[in-house]
Chains A and B, each alone.
Chain A
Amino acid sequence: MKKAFSNLIKIFKYSFKSSKIAIFIVILIGLIKGLALFLPLIFNEQVVNLIYNSSVNSLGFKDIFIIASIFIVSIFLTNLLYSILNSYFNSLISLLYGTTDLLLAKRSLTLDYEVLEKEENKLMLQKARDGQNSSGGIGNFLSNIANLIQNIFVIILGFSYIGELFKVIDISKIVINEEVTSSLIFRFTNSWYIGLILVIFIILALILTILLISKMYKISNKFFEENVDYNHKYAYFARIFTDYHLGKDIRIFNLKDVAISRMKEIFFKLDESYGGLAKKVAKNQIGVSIISSFIILLGYILVSLKAYCKIIELGSIITIVGSITNVLNALVSIFSLSQDMLLQSTYLSYFEDYINLKNDDDKKDYVDISEVKAPYVFRFNHVSFKYPNQNEYALDDVSFTLGKFNKTAIVGKNGAGKSTIIKLIARFYKPEKGEILVNNININKFRFKDYQTLFGVVFQDFSLFPLTIKENVSGNKKINEEEIKEDLDKVNFNYQKFEKGIDTYLYNYIEKGIEVSGGEAQKIAIARTLYKDSDYVFLDEPTSALDPISEAEIYSLFDKLVTNKKAIYISHRMSSTKFCDDIIVLDKGKIIEEGSHEELMKINNGVYQELFNAQAKYYK
């Protein structure tokens, strides 16, 4: 519960920060909605009293109608004000929704890769997103606050009318026969404690409601954890049948049955947990309902007695009965609202936690990137690294230098640690032990963004984006159409076959665009690296999807390219690594051989020789 309160406070603060007007509007809406419930009652009461006493006060139709009109017009104005405010509030909600979505995306985009990729952070983000979807996010939270204010205001207003029941009249001043005034019922009715009984009941109901809320919170909290987990799985199931990439295997291997039986398992559990929770909530809801119903019972009797004995005016029956109904509804609403809000605040606290995630080196004193003067080299100094959830080291006490030669290849069997080297150099992960230096400065000392300018990477699983071809190639660099075309020409990518040339969009997400084959995509990705124009180029399996003709094209292209750049290849195609000046052979996270092709081929039973011959024998 304590945590829930601190969450609530966090979210309040956050709402304040995002929009000061929002809070003002929320309070105003709450008050107006509360008032709107009482205005007709008061109106009704006043008019009934006026008519009832019309003969005494000698008021005519005109007088009463004018008073009534004032009420009707003020009710109209209240409703109008409410719909204007509400309309404005809805716009505010969409603004807040946009802001929160943007904040999440912004945080994701600026987080270190290692922090972004951490399982616990991914789950946190998932929960934050679930919160947006399943509980409506900050906007819904605010409208719940408005409802809460409304209900609290209703209880306060209601009490002030119920207070009418405390009214006691001086027997000597009224004209009712003695028989009535001396009766027990009259004396009981005409006392202040009769009202007190009702108020005590209402306060008891309030206390009980609060107790039940805190009890329910415990139950829901446990359920909430399950719920987050369940939403995660539900989303994956939806992916199974909407992602057409999965579709081929699903059909041929009849994976439909596997998927559906997994869904059924999860749904069965869901049925248990949701169903169980529903019953618990319903039971507690009954608790609140029953207690509050006794208030109704008592209230109705007291009101009729007081009115019967003419202690209160006829018109007051309307306001008091109406107030009792309103107060009770408010109590039940507060109960369910609090449930929602506590759940929402938990969800929203994930959001808050996520956008406050810190990169490891957010506050360090950076070394200026201009300290790194070309030609620079990357040096691994006793570097060890292990992926999360894995027992074995991907790299184990590795030391070497990249950049001594123009072309370097890194080869090895599957799982030897080749791609890990690139990920460490790119600072996507930090070494567990040892350090990586560029010209003797630890790479972590530079600002991440500056550091990335030192090299371009063509990743094994590179991504292109649904932007124009020219935007894809330029990255965040200034667009120079001539240069972009030049680079695309270099990789033999024929952009002229499209009507809009390099202004053609890729894919169909943003604008109607074109689908490119794996080979074409690879060419664009390489052009992007060329346009980036860094001194180093890393290529992780750059030709895996290409046919031999295109492959040969790319190789010859890179031969031309490395005249003023340094290239690092990772490839299973030994043909592409053969011409490198330096070949580093990895095996099980360690460097076991290094040298030129000729040197390595001379090592009898060496790993390089084995790898090379394994492929070469088919071409003899």
Chain B
Amino acid sequence: MEKREDKRSNKKKKYGFFSNIVYSYKLLFNTKRSFIFLIPLFIIFSILVTLISTYIPSLIVYFIENNFNIYTMLLLILSLALIFIVIKVTTDYLNEILSMGYLLTRATIPFLELSRKALSMDYELYESSKVKDALAKAEYGVSSNLRGLEGLYRKLPLLIIAILGFLIFGISTIFISYYVLIIVLVVFIINFILIIFVSKKHTKIEDDISKVNNKIRYFSNASENEVMAKDIRNYSLSSKFISLLSTYHKELRKHLIRLNFLWFIPSFELTLGALIRDLIAYAFLIYQAINNLISISEFVALFSSITAFNSYLDQISLYLDENILCSLEVKYFREFFDINNIFNHGSNKNKKCIDINTIKKPFEIDIKNISFKYEGSDKYIFKDFSLKINSGEKIALVGINGAGKTTLAKLLTGLYYPSEGEILVNGVNIKYLNIDEYYSRVSIINQDIYPLAFTIKDNIICSYPYDETRFNKVIEEAGIKERINSLKDKENTFITQNFSRDGINLSGGELQKMFLARALYKTSYFLILDEPTSALDPIAEGELYSKYNELVKDKTSIFISHRLSSTRFCDEIYFLENGKIIEKGSHEELMKQEGEYFKMFNLQAKYYKENLKEDEDK
């Protein structure tokens, strides 16, 4: 594992500011072709608007100064004004169209790509804290109007406008004096250094802020979470949560005030620089004008230039900073796509890949000397573990909490991969199968049940084709047909109200039945049931047991349960303890051994023995 990760981090590409810009805009232009022209147009027009409105007064002064014919003057101004109107109206219109385009681009394709990438990532990777953090950061790239991709779309044109404006109006200041230019450059360089310094501090404070924000988010969510609401009320935790939240908010505010103060430094330097610069520039300007070295119209033009130049200078330092932050978020977004899967997903042609259809059904599973431990833990869940399940065999897996049953289920369904040893399906190492194809042939009911907020039908048939007869058969087998048919929208009823106001909430037992139906609907050759009856009532539980043989016909199956009654109809029972099989055999055989299984069974059974109470009384 560690070796693999090292390789990955070595390969990690560096995404710089410009590379992120190219990436973001390629993405934009792919969806909005016309933007290739519209954005430059917007930039040019924006500058023209400022140019015209800045120089109009000096132009009028020029006409008057040089005694132009009144009609010529009117004509010239009229035409200039008309041009100005066309440009201004176009700019305003473009601005609206562009910003909607930015939003639509950001909120759709990159978002879909990110979901696709996250959802097709190997589960073990996906679940690791590293990837979780990376994903949370990558999400920034697509989750807000002002950050990440959209932030870059909105703010880069503004930065370009500011830089171009700065250059255009800057050139005219050279006419006043070289000293002005030197001062401008000195002030700007100092400002740039300050910004870099402040940005560095900023990222440090930002880390603290995100830590506090995570805490705030947790308790804010907890305060409105329906499930937690019950414990919060019964154990009167409200006041504790409120006081924690206000402490965190106070801490957050402290950081934010520090940030404010930090950013005040470069802005103060800029203001102070502007004072010195202006004093010198205007001194030269006034001197030249008063000695008739320049005309009044030139004076007005230069004067206006300085004003425009000043405002562009402020904008550069503002937008530069914002663009850098947005580009950083785009970087996180891109980096997420560089995380490579370890399992074979069929996309890599160099890897040996075996067609799942050539494998004999139902699957024979052979676990050979595997070892496995969780990320960040030293304790091996399995060490040199082996187990063979014959084709079509029904086995039961029992043991105390933490024995490794659920982990084994994850390994066998291809969600985790063993760090040593191999898992063979009919003699073929899972590694050589396209894991997505393998997923399509195995089925599981997980212990923890999380439905998607779509319809009941979506949750049962998943992405497989709808077959009405088959659908009706599985909901009947799972014992949920009656419940579904009692609903107004039947199988098209939404679960929870996320996507429909008429959505309903199913109870734990009902969800478990629905998930059983899902596991059965799918054509699979290997089925794992992990505590499938924990929320079922005894009658429903009994029904599942009695139907079990019929349900898993043509499948290899594993039944994991704490209810030892469930093991009776399995061919072979394995008793797992600390990642090792300590007993195996049929129920009768294990009972005869009088080992751990025997002890556990009796512990459960004694409560069901008739007349126990009378026995005790005697």
Contacts and interface: CB of A to CB of B under 8 A. Distances in A.
A304 B415 CA distance: 78
Interface stretch (B56-64, B182-190, B425-433): B56-64
A196 interface: no
Given A301-B77, A463-B227, A40 B268 contact: no
Contacts of A550: 400-401
A255 B60 contact: no
Contacts of B145: 134
Contact of B499 (A104, A233, A270): A233
Contacts of B220: 101, 104-105
Nearest to B86: A293
Contact of A325 (B53, B245, B454): B53
Contacts of B278: 72, 75-76
A300 B607 contact: no
Interface stretch (B198-206, B327-335, B501-509): B501-509
Interface stretch (A23-31, A106-114, A371-379): A106-114
Contacts of A322: 57
Contact of A452 (B77, B234, B274): B234
A300 B77 contact: yes
A185 interface: yes
A259 B115 contact: yes
Contact of B252 (A94, A253, A428, A548): A94
Contacts of B63: 304, 308
Contacts of B490: none
Contacts of B238: 109-110
Contacts of B256: 90-91, 94
Contacts of B179: none
A318 B229 CA distance: 65
Interface centre among B61, B96, B216, B601 (most CB of A within 10 A): B96
Contacts of B454: 258, 262
A462 interface: yes
Nearest to A596: B613
B100 A101 contact: no
B551 interface: no
A9 interface: no
A239 B613 CA distance: 51
B2 interface: no
Interface stretch (A146-154, A156-164, A410-418, A483-491): A410-418
A297 B81 contact: yes
Given A116-B224, A282-B97, A300-B77, A245 B537 contact: no
B299 interface: yes
A293 to B, nearest CB: 4
Contacts of A288: 92
B218 interface: yes
Interface stretch (A197-205, A431-439, A560-568, A610-618): A610-618
The B contact surface, by secondary structure, is helix
B135 A242 contact: yes
B215 A509 contact: yes
Interface centre among A236, A251, A255, A456 (most CB of B within 10 A): A251
B233 A611 contact: no
A545 B497 CA distance: 28
Interface stretch (A13-21, A166-174, A362-370, A569-577): A569-577
Contacts of A296: 81, 84-85, 88
A245 B450 contact: yes
B246 A102 contact: yes
B541 A572 contact: yes
Interface in B84-115: 84-85, 88-89, 92-93, 96-97, 99-101, 103-104, 107-108, 111-112, 114-115
Nearest to A82: B271
B230 interface: yes
Contacts of A509: 214-215, 218
Contacts of B402: 517, 519
Interface stretch (A48-56, A206-214, A345-353, A400-408): A48-56
Interface stretch (B33-41, B155-163, B300-308, B387-395): B300-308
Contacts, number: 471
A232 B73 CA distance: 59
Interface string A585-607: 00000000000011000000000
Contact of B442 (A72, A73, A252): A252
A91 B253 contact: yes
Interface size class of B (residues with CB under 8 A): 35 or more
A293 B89 contact: yes
Interface string A30-71: 000000000010001001100110100000110011001100
Contacts of A84: 264
A285 B96 contact: yes
Interface centre among B84, B108, B119, B250 (most CB of A within 10 A): B119
B401 A518 contact: yes
Given A116-B224, A241-B115, A47 B286 contact: yes
Contacts of A106: 223, 242
A131 to B, nearest CB: 14
Contacts of A240: 115, 119, 452
Given A251-B439, A254-B440, A286-B89, A260 B286 contact: no
A237 interface: yes
Contacts of B126: 244, 247
A264 interface: yes
Contacts of B565: 615, 618-619
Interface in A241-292: 241-260, 262-264, 267, 270-271, 274-275, 277-279, 281-282, 285-286, 288-290
B469 interface: no
A465 B228 CA distance: 9
B131 to A, nearest CB: 9
Given A249-B446, A253-B518, A449-B236, A232 B498 contact: yes
A611 B303 contact: no
Contacts of B502: 389
Interface string A536-552: 00000100111111111
Nearest to B80: A300
B167 interface: no
A87 B236 contact: no
Contacts of A60: 290
A182 interface: no
Contact of A87 (B57, B60, B253, B264): B264
B289 interface: yes
Given A44-B303, A318-B57, A61 B287 contact: yes
Contact of A456 (B70, B116, B234, B522): B234
B120 to A, nearest CB: 6
A255 B89 contact: no
Contacts of B64: 304, 307-308, 314
A255 B145 CA distance: 29
Given A76-B275, A475-B235, A476-B240, A48 B112 contact: no
A119 B497 contact: yes
Contact of B462 (A254, A301, A389): A254
A551 B564 CA distance: 13
B5 interface: no
Contacts of B108: 267, 270-271
Given A245-B448, A252-B413, A598-B613, A105 B261 contact: no
B538 A304 contact: no
A125 interface: yes
Nearest to B262: A87
A530 interface: no
B410 A109 contact: no
A611 B261 contact: no
A430 interface: no
B127 interface: yes
Contacts of B246: 102
A95 interface: yes
20 contacts: A51-B299, A80-B271, A98-B250, A104-B220, A106-B242, A241-B119, A253-B462, A253-B518, A255-B462, A270-B107, A278-B100, A296-B81, A307-B60, A461-B230, A548-B564, A572-B535, A579-B607, A615-B541, A615-B608, A618-B565
